[in-house]
Amino acid sequence: MGAAPAPALRRAVRGYLDHLTVERGLSANTLASYRRDLDRYLLTLTSAGVTDLATVSATEVEAHLAALRAGGDGHPPLAVSSAARAASAVRGLHRFALREGLVGADASRDVRPPTPPRRLPRALPVDDVVRLLETAGSVRAAGEGAPLVLRDRALLEFLYGTGARISEAIGAAVDDVDPVEGTVLLRGKGGRSRLVPIGGYATEALRAYLVRARPGLVAGGRGTPAVFVNARGGALSRQGAWTILRRTAERAGLPVDGPDAVSPHTLRHSYATHLLDGGADVRVVQELLGHASVTTTQVYTLVTVERLREVYATAHPRALG
């Protein structure tokens, strides 16, 4: 086992992660990824004899990031997206150290992360979404003995009806939902909250679940404010929600493996794409999705343009020459 990183390096990383937690409000998953990236960076610096960020050069930063992309020492090469995240973590650490006066210059200033290839989001056709939701179970047909049927249908209707991230859905509290107004307060990334409409079908499914199913489920637990609960009455986990969707998608005949596999984010992608297909303004969709920048939302406009091209190519008599 190699030498442990020097105390000055560990303090710098700890201070940066604390900054990301308190000032930036990054999610636990993102923080865990940054921590792993920076732990690996410190090991690289330590093996090179570096004990303080002030002595790091651009060459050492570039060499570390190149090694991540190339692989080695028991680590497979990082995908472009993972390498870009690692570069972001390293560059963020050096910018933080400069602002805090720990270093006199930013050694990573001219280092450019790899550019991930643009991937268009996977969106389901409307008919497939309807089939998925109906497969989850009928709100009206579910009897008193089927609380989980009502929960599953409410969860999937909620995801598609609001465009919520899975973390926002399982983090929603009962008091955040207004079934009369048909709205819900979603708490998104970076501590940002937004009020979004739920939609008629999702409101009906939620109302049925909250009145006919949730009280019986939470009676067996310790009490939780979460809207969506598991069979034991506790808050539904991310994995639990993913399992519900996967099980329902499989029953509906939709792919659950491979690049086109249905995931909770698939419903979010479908929500955005169907809104834009229906004529919604991209900035309205940005607000509904909780994107900090409209640039993030504009990737969905590429999806709709691709569909327009397909329709044009098959329908216009002189589209193909």
Residue 125 main-chain phi, psi, to 5 deg: -60, 155
Question: Is residue 189 annotated as a catalytic residue, yes or no?
Answer: yes
Question: Is residue 232 annotated as a catalytic residue, yes or no?
Answer: no
- Long-range CB contact pairs, 140-148, < 8 A, 24+: 140/208, 142/208, 142/212, 142/213, 144/212, 146/213, 147/209, 147/212, 147/213, 147/214, 147/216, 147/217, 148/213, 148/231
The confidence band for 179, taking pLDDT boundaries of 50, 70 and 90, is: confident
Angle between helices 264-277 and 238-251 (to 10 degrees): 70
Would you identify the CATH topology of the domain 7-99? Answer: DNA polymerase; domain 1 (1.10.150)
Question: Is residue 36 annotated as a catalytic residue, yes or no?
Answer: no
Residue 302: is its pLDDT beyond 90? no
Reference 177, options 147, 143, 154, 160; nearest CA is 154
Report field, pTM of the whole predicted structure over 0.85: no
Percent of the chain residues past pLDDT 70, beyond the cut:
84
Single out the catalytic residue among 189, 212, 246, 307: 189
The secondary structure of 251-305 as a DSSP string is HTT---SSTT---HHHHHHHHHHHHHHTT--HHHHHHHHT-SSHHHHTHHHHHHH
User: Where, residue-wise, is CATH 1.10.150.130 in the chain?
Assistant: 7-99
The answer regarding whether domain 126-263 maps to CATH 1.10.443.10 reads yes
* H helix runs in the chain, sequence order: 7-19, 28-47, 58-70, 80-99, 126-135, 147-162, 166-171, 200-212, 214-218, 238-251, 264-277, 282-289, 294-297, 299-315
Question: Is residue 11 annotated as a catalytic residue, yes or no?
Answer: no
Q: pLDDT tens for residues 138-157?
A: 655 455 448 999 999 999 99
Single out the catalytic residue among 24, 265, 283, 309: 265
Residue 71: is its pLDDT beyond 80? no
Single out the catalytic residue among 165, 214, 269, 274: 165
Q: pLDDT tens for residues 26-58?
A: 778 888 989 999 999 999 999 889 999 999 998
Residue 106 neighbours by CB distance under 10 Å: 20
Identity of the highest mean pLDDT range in 127-136, 179-188, 261-270: 127-136
Question: Is residue 291 annotated as a catalytic residue, yes or no?
Answer: yes
Question: Is residue 265 annotated as a catalytic residue, yes or no?
Answer: yes
Residue 284: the pLDDT is: 82
Q: For the ranges 6-15, 96-105, 184-193, 237-246, which has the lowest average pLDDT?
A: 184-193
Single out the catalytic residue among 151, 207, 268, 274: 268
Single out the catalytic residue among 64, 85, 94, 291: 291
CA distance 153 to 149: 6
Single out the catalytic residue among 160, 209, 271, 300: 300
User: Where, residue-wise, is CATH 1.10.443.10 in the chain?
Assistant: 126-263
- Identify the helix (H) or strand (E) that includes residue 177: strand 177-178
